[in-house]
Amino acid sequence: MIQTLALIVSSTLVYSGPLIFTALGGVFSERSGIVNVGLEGIMVMGAFGSVIFNLFTADTFGAWTPWLGLLIGGLVGILFSLVHAVATVHLRADHIISGTVLNLVAPSLGVFLTRELFAGKGQTDMIAESFGYANIPLLSQIPVIGNIFFKSTSLPAYVGILSAFVVAFIIYRTAFGLRLRSVGEHPQAADTLGINVYLMRYIGVLLSGFFGGVGGAVLAQSISLNFSVSTIAGQGFMAMAAMIFGKWNPVGAMGAALFFGFAQSLAVVGSQIPLISSIPSVYLQIAPYIITIIVLVSFVGRSQGPAANGTTYVKSK
Amino acid sequence: MTQSKWQSLLVPVLSVIVGLLFGAVIMLLFGYNPVDGYQALLEGALGTPFNIGQTLRAATPLIFTGLGFAVAYTAGFFNIGLAGQALFGWLVSVWVGLAMLDSPKWLVLPLAILAGALAGALWAAIPGILKAYFDTSEVIVTIMLNYVAVYIADYLIRNVLTDRADATPFVGANASLRTEWLTELTNGSTMHAGFFLALLFAVIAYIFINRTTFGFELKAVGLNKDAAEYAGMNVKRNIIIAMVISGALAGLGGVMNGLGEFQNIFLTNGVAPAIGFNGMAVALLGLLNPFGVVLAAILFGGLMTGGNIMPLTAGIPSEIVDIVIAAIIFFVGANYIITFFLNRRKVRSAVDNEDVIQQGGQEG
């Protein structure tokens, strides 16, 4: 029983980790008023960056490689999201079209660069240093609970959970957070008060690039372990759904991401769990998506995002 | 006003040019010769009757999914679920074809096409209904339904349509859109009669959107839901009907794959058909005008067909073409940059600078 629970918890965390980080990124962007459908593409580039870094530096950095890979993934995400920021803030592009462009270009760009780096091959080799499973010191010593939650578990997911609380503090308790939210709610008013709307929106989008890139890097270095065109396959959209389900609140988004991770992990570990193993796999595969829709309809309903989300702000003279 | 109409035509044309230039820069950066690259692309797309046939064949499903996106967008609805709707259209049309191997063509072919359209329509009705009655974000719902469609289709292909095979058998000649004279005319390309069906639907869609009361109502709903409601239109019903039509067109796009191009259906491996997202891109490039959609689809068909040949003849990865396509869509979306420069030339001597800002900031 404890073993089954531990299996469910650890695989839930493995699948939640990428979603948590990416959903937090979405919160930053949309709180500033920029809709970011491009999280999927940002994850792809983060995954690509981290895998390349991992492959080339694993000898140098050893066990630290995947963690440094997260930073690289985040940096690549920032660079990539810059396109979305310029398009939506300065070029007044439709946010959904611009985000869709990120999603369209990322897999092709990643595979193109992979071909350039690896003599024409469309996917990379497997990375040598991955996140794997780790024990959390002290906490894993707690009887029963330690076994279920903190032994051979996913460390990046715990970092993500902690990050959610940090992000919540930033957004709700700091001057920066207040400015970010005001720009997403009522840019005209914020502008009148002397807040630089364009700058805040750039920061919001670039932070979504960082967190989305980290999310992609977590996924690549703990689940797929290489980069190919299908490494991400929809996780960015799931993260976006988690953000909306969590009502644009970092902790809520993190909770939703944990829930989606749980639903997804069932399709993978279900065969090892009595009772669930008798359900045909197709139902487990479609469950996360169906659940998302049901949740959106029943719990969120007329979910209200930031009031100025998706609008272009044009500073008047 | 004719000035601005002319100008709005200039946006997609310039976007294509800038997108191609962008692709050339990338090729240069990575040490490829862009002249060789685009020559290979052009020849691959239009060089021989066979290549022209392949280009028109690739354009065919895109015309349908593009029209589907345009109709939904007219009603203010972002249908990102074209891929899933097309997949079900594809699956069901092949299914009907396989189930009626011995029936006459005049019965099977129309029935299979209709069934495919219906499958797409029903799948699109779900986000339509949820949007109309629960105001649920159609972007998320249609994306989620794409994944559901992918898994259900794979399950049905493996367990119902075949005995654990990766692809179904081919449909019979009685369910095929291929015609001998088209194949002969294009030296054995897989171009099929669906192309003419697509042109027909483009005309129908144009008349529907621009010349009927219902088309007008859809536009009204798309422009301002509340105003349309106030004017006595049934907004909920219009949203659902727009989605059903959009889904039916996307389903037909899938039928073109099923009965025209491939003649069967195979496992998706988790990725919904590319004609979904490309259809969206085609619709945006075509400025959501049915005739624009046809032109944009043919351009895309050419880019994709020529792009496949680039690695063979010029040694340039075909992903370059995807990057070019994304760049084109980017500039269509960010058309402010193009209109800004066009306006600046016009307005430079004029007094009112406010005009530029007004015209550029129409999004809301």
Taking residue A134's Cβ as centre, other Cβ atoms within 10 Å add up to: 16
Residue A1 has pLDDT above 80, yes or no: no
Smallest Cβ–Cβ distance between A108 and the set B140, B284, B322 belongs to B322
Higher-confidence residue of A305 and A48: namely A48
**What are the structure tokens assigned to B45, written together?**
């797309």
Residue of B nearest to A295 (CA): B136
Interchain contact, B330 vs A83, CB within 8 Å = yes
Shortest Cα–Cα distance, A270 to chain B (Å): 16
Q: Which residues of B touch A98 (CB under 8 A)?
A: 330, 333-334
Give residue B97's region: left, alpha or beta (phi > 0; psi -120 to 50).
alpha
Q: Which residues of B touch A297 (CB under 8 A)?
A: 130, 134, 136
Mean pLDDT, to the nearest integer, of A33-60?
A: 96
Interchain contact, A115 vs B277, CB within 8 Å = no
**What are the structure tokens assigned to B55, written together?**
């280009």
Reported as a single tens digit per residue, the pLDDT across A259-303 is 999 988 888 887 777 777 888 888 888 988 898 888 888 866 555
- Least-confidence region, from A266-275, B20-29, B39-48, B145-154: A266-275
Mean pLDDT, to the nearest integer, of A119-133?
A: 90
Interchain contact, B151 vs A286, CB within 8 Å = yes
Q: pLDDT tier at A144 (50, 70, 90 boundaries)?
A: confident
Q: pLDDT tier at B319 (50, 70, 90 boundaries)?
A: very high
Q: How far is CA A276 from CA A4, A68, A293, B126, in A?
A: 12, 37, 22, 28
Interchain contact, B330 vs A101, CB within 8 Å = yes
Rounded Cα gap, residues A88 and A81, in angstroms: 11
Q: How many CA atoms lie within 13 A of A183 on its CB side?
A: 31
Q: Which helix (H) or strand (E) holds B86?
A: helix B82-99
Residue B307 has pLDDT above 90, yes or no: yes
Q: How far is CA A96 from CA A34, B293, B333, B345, B353, in A?
A: 9, 19, 9, 29, 29
Shortest Cα–Cα distance, B132 to chain A (Å): 11
The chain-wide mean pLDDT, for chain B, equals 90
| Residue A186: per-residue pLDDT | 93
Shortest Cα–Cα distance, A135 to chain B (Å): 33
Break chain A into its structural domains and give their ranges. 1-299
Shortest Cα–Cα distance, A154 to chain B (Å): 25
| Residue B2: per-residue pLDDT | 54
**What are the structure tokens assigned to A132, written together?**
């794997």
A99-108, A118-127, B52-61: which is most confident = B52-61
Q: At what angle do helices A235-245 and B138-156 cross, to 10 degrees?
A: 140
Please report, as a single letter, which amino acid is at residue A288. P
Shortest Cα–Cα distance, B317 to chain A (Å): 7
| Residue B21: per-residue pLDDT | 95
Please report, as a single letter, which amino acid is at residue A153. T
What phi, psi does B167 have (nearest 5°)? -150, 155
Substitution target from A285, A294, A295, A298 for chain B, most B beta carbons within 10 A? A285
Assign B314 to helix, strand or coil. Answer: helix
Residue A153: strand pairing partners: A134
Sequence-separated (6 or more) residues with CB below 8 Å from residue A235: A18, A19, A22, A40, A43, A215, A216, A219
Residue of A nearest to B331 (CA): A93
B38: nearest Cα among B306, B300, B295? B306
Interchain contact, B144 vs A292, CB within 8 Å = yes
Smallest Cβ–Cβ distance between A104 and the set B134, B326, B363 belongs to B326
Taking residue A272's Cβ as centre, other Cβ atoms within 10 Å add up to: 13
Interchain contact, A302 vs B281, CB within 8 Å = no
Fold of A1-299: ABC transporter involved in vitamin B12 uptake, BtuC (1.10.3470)
**What are the structure tokens assigned to B180, written together?**
């001998």
| Residue B363: per-residue pLDDT | 38
Residue B311 has pLDDT above 60, yes or no: yes
Residue B149 has pLDDT above 90, yes or no: yes
Residue B30 has pLDDT above 50, yes or no: yes
Give residue B167's region: left, alpha or beta (phi > 0; psi -120 to 50).
beta
- Reported pTM: 0.89
Higher-confidence residue of A252 and A120: namely A252
Sequence-separated (6 or more) residues with CB below 8 Å from residue A196: none
Q: Which residues of A touch B160 (CB under 8 A)?
A: none
Residue B348 has pLDDT above 60, yes or no: no
Give yes or no for a contact between B315 and B39, defined as CB atoms under 8 angstroms apart: no
Quote the percentage of chain A above a pLDDT of 90: 64
Interchain contact, B330 vs A233, CB within 8 Å = no
Q: pLDDT tier at A138 (50, 70, 90 boundaries)?
A: confident
Assign A80 to helix, strand or coil. Answer: helix
Mean pLDDT, to the nearest integer, of B37-50?
A: 94
A47-56, A255-264, B327-336: which is most confident = A47-56
Q: Which residues of B touch A285 (CB under 8 A)?
A: 151
Higher-confidence residue of A277 and B168: namely B168
Reported as a single tens digit per residue, the pLDDT across A223-258 is 999 999 889 988 998 899 899 888 899 999 999 999
| Residue A303: per-residue pLDDT | 58
- Least-confidence region, from A83-97, A125-139, B196-210: A125-139
A vs B: CB pairs below 8 A: 135
Burial B325-351 (b: 16+ CB within 10 A, else e): bbbbbbbbbbbbbbbeebbeeeeeeee
Q: Domains in chain B, start-ordered, CATH in brackets?
A: 56-316 (1.10.3470)
Give yes or no for a contact between A314 and A257, defined as CB atoms under 8 angstroms apart: no
Q: Which chain B residues in 125-184 lie under 8 Å from chain A, judged by CB atoms?
A: 130, 134-137, 139-141, 143-145, 147-148, 151-152, 154-155
**What are the structure tokens assigned to B225, written together?**
């839901």
Assign B349 to helix, strand or coil. Answer: coil
Reported as a single tens digit per residue, the pLDDT across B204-259 is 999 999 999 989 998 898 888 888 888 888 889 999 999 999 999 999 999 999 99
Give yes or no for a contact between A257 and A24, defined as CB atoms under 8 angstroms apart: no
Residue A205 has pLDDT above 50, yes or no: yes
Mean pLDDT, to the nearest integer, of A127-142?
A: 86
Give residue A233's region: left, alpha or beta (phi > 0; psi -120 to 50).
left
Q: Which residues of A touch B284 (CB under 8 A)?
A: 97
Question: Does the CB of B50 have a partner CB in chain A at under 8 Å?
Answer: no
Q: How many CA atoms lie within 13 A of B54 on its CB side?
A: 21
Interchain contact, B334 vs A93, CB within 8 Å = yes
Interchain contact, A301 vs B280, CB within 8 Å = no
Higher-confidence residue of B145 and B337: namely B145
Smallest Cβ–Cβ distance between A112 and the set B137, B144, B319 belongs to B319
Rounded Cα gap, residues A25 and B41, in angstroms: 38
Reported as a single tens digit per residue, the pLDDT across B63-75 is 999 999 999 999 8
**What are the structure tokens assigned to B279, written together?**
């259809």
Residue A305: strand pairing partners: none
Q: Which residues of B touch A83 (CB under 8 A)?
A: 330
Sequence-separated (6 or more) residues with CB below 8 Å from residue A166: none
**What are the structure tokens assigned to A196, written together?**
């630089």
Residue B128 has pLDDT above 50, yes or no: yes
A77: nearest Cα among A93, A60, A53, A112? A53
* Eight-class DSSP state of B174: G
ipTM of the complex: 0.88
Shortest Cα–Cα distance, B364 to chain A (Å): 5
Residue A190 has pLDDT above 60, yes or no: yes
Residue A307 has pLDDT above 50, yes or no: yes
Sequence-separated (6 or more) residues with CB below 8 Å from residue B185: B49, B53
